[in-house]
Amino acid sequence: MAAAEGAHRSEPASALDEARARLAVGQAELIAALVAGGRDPAAFDQGALDATRQALLGKRRAGVTRRWPALAAEPGFAELFDVWAAARSPAGSFHDGLAFARAHPAVVSTDTRAELLYDRAAGRRLTIIVDRAAGGDADRGGMLVALRAPVLGTLILRAPRRRPGRTA
């Protein structure tokens, strides 16, 4: 008798496990559609998906704006970030800001590059990091160097710009 009861208990448990597995797959598809550029699930209202997607992009952009104010002040940041972020999974505001700046070096000013470089160096004890402007463009601020050492802290040095007509 006890063996027969055990068999009946396993049937509902396996059906429940299957239902949970289907739910998990559906949830993963929905999350991918909302924040990582995945395909929209068929059973959802397109308007609601679009509204939710825009709200989540706005929240993500706001996090990057709080974490990286100089980056957010760049011209066209909101539009560029939304397009860039729509196809990528969130990695947190710190990493999203760094990845966005690396993906768009031509639109990042010298002040923003310095802010990003300062944070890249901050977690290290002793480091030298060199950051060159996109394409070596001296008009975009040229080369920046971050130096970090105990007692010294972090210093950002800007290489002098070359004057027109002068060669090194």
So what's the pLDDT on residue 4? 53
Question: For the chain, what is the mean pLDDT?
Answer: 84
**pLDDT at residue 9, as a whole number:** 54
Return the pLDDT at 73.
93
At 138, is the pLDDT very low, low, confident or very high (cuts 50, 70, 90)?
Answer: very low
Residue 152 banded pLDDT, cuts 50, 70, 90: confident
Which residues are within 8 A (CB) of 154 and not within 5 positions of it... i.e. 6 or more apart? 118, 121, 122, 146, 147, 148
pLDDT (0 to 100) of residue 2 = 52
> Under a CB-based contact definition with an 8 Å cutoff, are residues 141 and 110 in contact?
yes
Q: What pLDDT digit, counting tens, does each position of 38-83 carry? A: 888 888 888 988 999 999 999 999 999 999 999 999 999 999 999 9
Per-residue pLDDT tens digits for 85-137: 998 999 999 999 999 998 998 888 888 888 888 888 888 889 999 988 765 44
- The helix, strand and coil proportions of the chain, stated in percent and rounded to the nearest 5, come to 60, 10, 30
pLDDT score of 11: 62
Q: Is the pTM of this model over 0.75?
A: no
Q: What is the mean pLDDT of residues 2-14?
A: 59
108: amino acid identity, one letter: V
Q: What's the rounded Cα separation, in Å, for the pair 85 and 37? A: 9
